[in-house]
Structure 1
């Protein structure tokens, strides 16, 4: 993906809590589109190989959650975590992580991830098709800044992490703010 490129139009199949539904699973299906998430907002989107995986659950997701207020102070309206996992998995992961500031987007079929060129085969880990790790600042549906981990390829032997870290995005935002003020 490159800066200045518009995100692809995709419909995401999500499950949302609905108090009118009784029983142990009070959720209903709700389709959300790229425009629903990104239109008219400046947001962070980060994606990772899988919910509940070590780097994602220990560093990347908690780092974005913990720094949400600082991101807001730097002009970010929302923070989204995407993974090629279904809505059931993403909702349970969000619940287990006690998320209050980061919203999850399920790309269950990998359609969005494929269309932005980040879908990779992770058969070497028994995952199948998943997202390569990246982060982006999206302004009204257009990529403002792109942070992709090195080595994009199928069945990569490692899980690089650093370029897409919340700390790296905070540094970018601070520099952009300083440049705008100068």
Structure 2
């Protein structure tokens, strides 16, 4: 079953790039008591993700925070080392990178996709959501190959 607005996020553990290596963070620790703009990309360093999706959230970080967002987070089915390298390469200091290396989070959301025909294996769909205190308030899931409703601009327009 696919998650929808009004549902609580599943309890899972992400790995976050840290100075001493990957650091585990539970969904509860990240989302409880906060308003979070969360977006998912099929993969770090992939074309649309690097050229448009992540840069849009970097550019709109101030506006999202002014609209009441406490934390902006990006997740992908990549390991914490790749997510950390991508963050540094993109200058994404204000974005919390949540590595979902085994795809447990996107699978629990029902938002996994098979990228095998591109050599990617199982990945997460491209989406954005607004989460308040661990509950999904807004969910925007892209059609395969599209980049419209998961952008920072689109999410900002919904706030």
TM-score, normalised by the number of residues in structure 1: 0.84
Q: Structure 1 residues 71 and 115 mapped into 2: Cα distance closer, same or farther (>3 Å)? A: same
Q: Structure 1 residues 29 and 64 mapped into 2: Cα distance closer, same or farther (>3 Å)? A: closer
Shift of 1:31: 1.5
Match of 1:148 in 2: 141
Distance in 1, matches of 2:83 and 2:22, equals 14
Is the 2:17–2:97 contact (alpha carbons within 8 Å) kept by the matching residues of 1?
no
- Tell me the number of residue pairs that the alignment of Structure 1 and Structure 2 aligns: 157
Distance in 2, matches of 1:28 and 1:163, equals 33
Alpha-carbon RMSD across the aligned residues, in angstroms, is 1.0
TM-score, normalised by the number of residues in structure 2: 0.95
More RCO (CA 8 Å, sep 6+): 2
Shift of 1:104: 0.7
The SS at the match of 1:16 is coil
2:46 to 25, 46, 53: 53
2:121 to 120, 128, 141: 128
Unaligned runs of 5+ in 2: none
Answer with 1 or 2: which has the greater Rg.
1
Match of 1:80 in 2: 73
Q: Structure 1 residues 28 and 146 mapped into 2: Cα distance closer, same or farther (>3 Å)? A: same
Q: Hey, which bits of structure 1, 4+ residues long, moved more than 6 A?
A: none
